[in-house]
Amino acid sequence: MIKMRFLMLSRLLLLSTLFSLLCEELVVSKECTNTFPELSSHTFRYELLTSKNETWRNEVLAQSHYHLTPSDDSYWAKLLPKRMVRQEDQISWMMLYRQIKDYGGNNNGNAGGFLKAVPLKDVRLDPSSIHGMAQQTNLEYLLMLDVDRLVWSFRKTAGLPTPGQPYGGWEAVNCGLRGHFVGHYLSASALMWASTNDNTLKTKMSAVVSILSDCQKQMGTGYLSAFPSEEFDRFEALKTVWAPYYTIHKIMAGLLDQYTFADNEQAFKMLNWMVDYHFNRVQNVILKYSIQRHWSSLNEETGGMNDVLYRLHAITGDQKHLVLAHLFDKPCFLGELAVKADDISGFHTNTHIPVVIGAQMRYEVTGDPLYKEIGTYFMDMINSSHAYATGGTSVGEFWSDPRRLASTLQTENEESCTTYNMLKVSRNLFRWTKDIRYADYYERALTNGVLSIQRGREPGVMIYMLPLKRGGSKAQSYHKWGSQFDDFWCCYGTGIESFSKLGDSIYFEEEGKVPGLYIIQYIPSSFQWRSGGFLINQTIIPVVSWDNRLRVTVAISSEQEAAVVSTLNLRIPTWTSTNVAKAILNSQDLILPVPGNFLSVTRKWSPGDKVTLEFPLSLRLEAIKDDRPEYASLQAILYGPYLLVGLSSGDWDIKTEPGASLADWITPIPADYNAHLISLSQVSGEAEFSLTKSDDSIQLQKLPEPGTNDAVGATFRLILKEPSDVFASPEDAIGKSVMLEPYGFPGMLVENQGVDETLRVVPDSSNDKDAAIFHLVSGLDGMDGTISLESENHKGCYVSSGLNDGSNNITLSCKSGSSNADFSQAVSFKLDKGISEYHPISFVAKGTDRNFLLAPLFSLRDESYTVYFNIQ
């Protein structure tokens, strides 16, 4: 009986798909939407469901099932005949659907020959690299999380005792998505354990799995979630509910990752029991109503249910897992991609990218070439029409119109989840094709989109959206920086996963008579290549602006010569130039292919073998993806894979001379400039105040935290009047004539406006140069570590604070009726190194009204920045 029901369900699925795709007259149009557009936003949904305004809530929920967009099944049938102008096109179309009709659920050989992901446990990041430090910061956060608090709502739902207190935010007891972060935690901790072998983390994550198993056994049906199963009653009745399958996907994926990366057999049994439960639920809906009823329910976000089920089927071979995976393929969205229609505007981004990832897994599992085409077209469409210079996509949580991105720059761009998922799409495509374009994309999105979402080395402080508006700041978006225990947004879940698997796409293995290894990301790391029989150590000399080279060394370590011949394939990025690039094997020069290819070296590798690579990095401009002429001037600045942003509160104008090269108006910050950065401060009571650029004047403000706009304003570069003079530290400048350049405004100088007048900031080209020159002397207060600044054009007059008079103004003062002690105190400042400092990859760009300090986006915390410049 069970087998007959299973076969009936499989046949219903096949017939429904075929009729909806092939028969224009017989197509029943399906809803393909994310319900009411605002409601499909996680942010909006959280605000709505936690609001005390019942009238507003009821009005919104009443509309939630009336926003429809055409299904791609009808879309497919309507669009295609218009394109079939040739008979051979129609024949090709019918052949394609015969292939769909004949799928058997087993890879028939059409798909295969993919590169293999290497075991994450065999990859180790250099802890001193930016990737290694980001991984360590994330590990510290995972270790901070409390097991009882994580599982609190699961225990409550199962009727078990609930020690401790639940977490807040999206894991709060009244949040419809509660439990989603726990699923992400299972994935992230499994990935992190494989990446670090941290046994404390292993103990924690195993405890979570064990407690969840107790919850599942207590309920006794296979169901496992932090919310009751009644949520699925609402889902199946097409009533408003907050994405229950989204959370179930996270839990299933977490259990599968615990099995895959941490060998937890208990997690695998729990997962299979969960799948049985949900298979029965979906089967009952289809047999009681129709498959159409099930398709309609997919208008609610279901995460990557198809993906995790295809992955599970690849392990078990169970046809039930395959059929259920098919039932979570969203035909109305995938169909649009199959006919290569860029009609994704208004779709909820992170609902649909996971569906594409699942479609990619369908190709790997079944060999159906349609799903390879879907994944390929989707990636090309995003890159050509919907991606920012970071590699990210989405306006808020949605896609905008194609090639209309200039109108979308705001605080709520590039949801972090979308970048996490786009990396999966590109990773799959690279494994299939070995096309370097996908490896280049991965590098860009990882460097600029992922590394940018952590707030320095602060564990558990990440962002939801990445602002791209001019003068934007990660600290000033709608969500701002998240908190460690009170937010748990969707992007916190994908964030902890991203920083747990930074080593998973550096190396890929190719099986064959001659084993091959593809090195596609240049990240300091080691990899134990078991097929090759040796350890690879990849070291990188950190990239800097004043020496435009990426220098990579790949060294071989082993106790003896490798037993087999093998090939190392080293990526030649598309952003480099081979006319001055170098590759050396031991002491032998190698011939490099053109960028966008691999350098392949085949040999029987010996201990001490070394491949050295040197790739020039160049500055380049990249226009925003917008084909309207009025926005043609909006361009981003990149240096190799690094997106450079300008410290700016909104200025963005750059006017270049005709025929000028980038080097004519963008220059690197020299290596020794950090030694010239200073901050000047005074203490009043228990508070410390620093000289700070505020608009065009200089004032005293409370000593700021690093990584803030105030820190930028409180940092100055000492410039010696005599260019021939050199100094290694600010103290070396005592006794010399100097100028003060505001850190965030290169080319500007601090100058006095006369005795008893405030100081101001002016361009270096100002007529009165002497007004910007000061004699740096030891502090008149006689205290160690203080200095005073005497005016060059008003001898005996000094830069002075008004703290003693309750004023924040900084003026030029001469000794008059005040006591020597008061005057000496007012003109003496503590000399410290700059609160801000130049990132090694820093440049100065000449602007129309001011110059811009350029730095990598990932290096910023709360500072205001501009991504796209108006370059005329």
Flag whether 126 is in a domain.
Answer: no
Predicted confidence at residue 32, as pLDDT, reads 61
Looking at the fold, whether 51 and 200 belong to one and the same domain comes out as no
Looking at the fold, whether 678 and 601 belong to one and the same domain comes out as no
More confident residue, 561 or 612: 612
Predicted confidence at residue 56, as pLDDT, reads 55
Q: What is the pLDDT of residues 310-332, one digit of tens each?
A: 999 999 999 999 999 999 999 88
Flag whether 662 is in a domain.
Answer: no
CATH number at residue 581: 2.60.40
- Residue 263 parent element (H or E): none
Looking at the fold, whether 38 and 155 belong to one and the same domain comes out as no
Looking at the fold, whether 823 and 750 belong to one and the same domain comes out as yes
Listed residues 328, 359, 391: the one ending a domain = 328
CATH number at residue 706: 2.80.10.50
Flag whether 467 is in a domain.
Answer: no
Q: Residue 255 in contact with residue 213, Cβ under 8 Å?
A: no
Predicted confidence at residue 50, as pLDDT, reads 65
Q: For 83-115, give one letter per residue: b (16+ CB within 10 A) or e.
A: eeeeeeeeeeeeebeeebeebebeeeeebeebb
Flag whether 603 is in a domain.
Answer: yes
Looking at the fold, whether 48 and 162 belong to one and the same domain comes out as no
Q: How far is 23 from 94, CA to CA, in rounded Å?
A: 11
- Going by pLDDT thresholds of 50, 70 and 90, the confidence category of residue 731 is very high
**Percent of the chain residues topping a pLDDT of 90:** 77
Flag whether 262 is in a domain.
Answer: yes
Q: How far is 428 from 170, CA to CA, in rounded Å?
A: 30
* Low-confidence winner among 27-36, 204-213, 297-306, 747-756 (lowest mean pLDDT): 27-36
- Going by pLDDT thresholds of 50, 70 and 90, the confidence category of residue 41 is low
- The DSSP annotation for 659-718 comes to T--HHHHEEEPPGGGGGGEEEEEEEETTEEEEEEEETTEEEEEEPPPTTSHHHHHT-EEE
Looking at the fold, whether 823 and 698 belong to one and the same domain comes out as yes
- Going by pLDDT thresholds of 50, 70 and 90, the confidence category of residue 334 is very high
Looking at the fold, whether 785 and 703 belong to one and the same domain comes out as yes
Looking at the fold, whether 55 and 191 belong to one and the same domain comes out as no
Flag whether 214 is in a domain.
Answer: yes
Predicted confidence at residue 48, as pLDDT, reads 56
Phi/psi of residue 585, each to 5°?
Answer: -100, 110
Listed residues 834, 850, 866: the one ending a domain = 834
Task: Provide the number of structural domains found in the chain.
Answer: 4
Flag whether 157 is in a domain.
Answer: yes
Is the pLDDT at 79 greater than 50? The verdict is no
Q: How far is 505 from 521, CA to CA, in rounded Å?
A: 7
Q: What is the pLDDT of residues 14-37, one digit of tens each?
A: 444 433 333 322 223 234 654 444
Q: Token digits for 354?
A: 């996971």
Predicted confidence at residue 559, as pLDDT, reads 79
Q: Residue 268 in contact with residue 259, Cβ under 8 Å?
A: yes
Predicted confidence at residue 257, as pLDDT, reads 98
Residue type, 281: R
Looking at the fold, whether 607 and 741 belong to one and the same domain comes out as no
Is the pLDDT at 5 greater than 80? The verdict is no
Most confident of 10-14, 33-37, 506-510, 759-763: 506-510
Is the pLDDT at 558 greater than 90? The verdict is no
Looking at the fold, whether 315 and 248 belong to one and the same domain comes out as yes
Domain of residue 704: give its range.
Answer: 671-834
Looking at the fold, whether 71 and 153 belong to one and the same domain comes out as no
Q: Token digits for 842?
A: 């820093």
Predicted confidence at residue 578, as pLDDT, reads 82
Flag whether 426 is in a domain.
Answer: no
**CA neighbours within 13 Å on the CB side: how many for 386?**
28
Q: For 336-350, give one letter per residue: b (16+ CB within 10 A) or e.
A: bbbbeebbbebbbbb
Most confident of 72-86, 230-244, 535-549: 535-549
